[in-house]
Amino acid sequence: TRSLLRSPKGFPELKNDTFLRAARGEETEHTPVWCMRQAGRYLPEFRETRASQDFFATCRSPKLCCELTLQPLRRFPLDAAIIFSDILVVPQALGMEVVMVPGKGPTFTEPLKEVEDLLKLRQKVDVTAELGYVFQAITLTRHSLEGKVPLIGFSGAPWTLMSYMIEGGGSTTMSKAKSWLYRHPEASHRLLRLLADVIIDYLVGQVAAGAQALQLFESHAGHLGPELFQDFALPYIRDIAQAVKSKLKEEALPLVPMIIFAKDAHYALRDLAHAGYEVVGLDWTIWPQEARAQIGKHVTLQGNLDPCALYAPKEKIGELVKKMLESFGTQRYIANLGHGLYPDMNPEHVGAFVEAVHAHSRHINKH
């Protein structure tokens, strides 16, 4: 059955490949744009679709994931879609229970407390059995997009997932998870290795299902300093890019562009530039020129407007976008926010952001 799963699925021809061209460093007429968390609660239709459903039940419904992924594209001329899912489906695949608590967010019923708790995790994960619902959602969405724009698949990175698994949810300090790095370095590496292996299979499976690009979210990089990042995050980030690419080759699957987004890791930009990813995503805390200087011209940059800029009046959003495009340059660049959209944002302001990127980048390219 494995070869059947890997066969081409007769997908519609891609009409707008601007995002993929920019990711690969090819010339584009306009700068492509998409938003992290573009399928989100700021859209009334999203709230309506999600209203009666448990969050993770939604994640497990290919039909609902497809609908939520397509919603922003009906409103805005975005250049890419990103599959609606959650990074915590990977800890679930390892056998951990995660529930979405209203007002609190994702919560692990039994977080990892002691090194012995690692034994409770599944040591070998069949990603098709555990996460096949994500693959089905990707295949369905890829057909339903009708070639309009490319579809991005994603995963959380090992350190970010480990921090959730130990903290049991969000945390301002990550002190429980970080204490493992200092007290139990070997066990930490065992856990990170286990996560990396699952993530590699998961990302390859997403490409087999139809994902045309992949983003790795190291959302909690900012809690690590340069040293801990070098020891506990970077080796796995590198390894994931390398292993995914070699498995894609082995399985004769498309070599899709990969994006690394390590939030607040401006201390590691040089390393990330050489980690094997075609695109480095940036948060809003770094000057575009500074990022370009550190990363060089051989990697595409993605980002980095402060999400809160979307609370500004529309004209102001246009000015900020123009400044951002002038700072990054319109080529080898994908416009995005420096983090995800917030639930109370006005959809019209998201539209203003997307249109400003297209209008200003076309203007700059002409002149």
Distance CA 186, CA 206 (A): 30
DSSP string, 190-235: HHHHHHHHHHHHHHHHHHHHT-SEEEEEETTGGGS-HHHIIIIIHH
264: left (phi over 0), alpha (psi -120 to 50) or beta: left
**From 17, 21, 42, 50, active-site residue:** 50
DSSP-derived 3-state class of residue 52: coil
DSSP-derived 3-state class of residue 304: strand
Q: How far is CA 194 from the centre of its chain?
A: 20
Q: Which residues of 251-289 are buried (b: 16+ CB within 10 A; e: fewer)?
A: eebeebbbbbbbbbbbbbbebbbebbbbbbbbbbebebe
Task: Please answer whether residues 232 and 220 qualify as being in contact, where contact means their C-beta atoms are separated by less than 8 angstroms.
Answer: no
Please report, for residues 20, 22, 88, 108, 331, the alpha-carbon distance to residue 358 in angstroms, rounded to integers and kept in the order given: 16, 14, 33, 41, 13
**From 17, 21, 42, 164, active-site residue:** 164
Active site residue 50: yes
* 201: its two tokens: 């299979």
**From 17, 21, 37, 332, active-site residue:** 37
What type of residue is 304? N
Residues 6+ apart with CB under 8 A from 102: none
The position carrying tokens 């309506």 is 48
| φ, ψ of residue 282 in degrees (nearest 5) | -125, 145
Active site residue 17: no
**From 6, 75, 86, 193, active-site residue:** 86
Active site residue 37: yes
Residues taking part in catalysis = 37, 41, 50, 86, 164
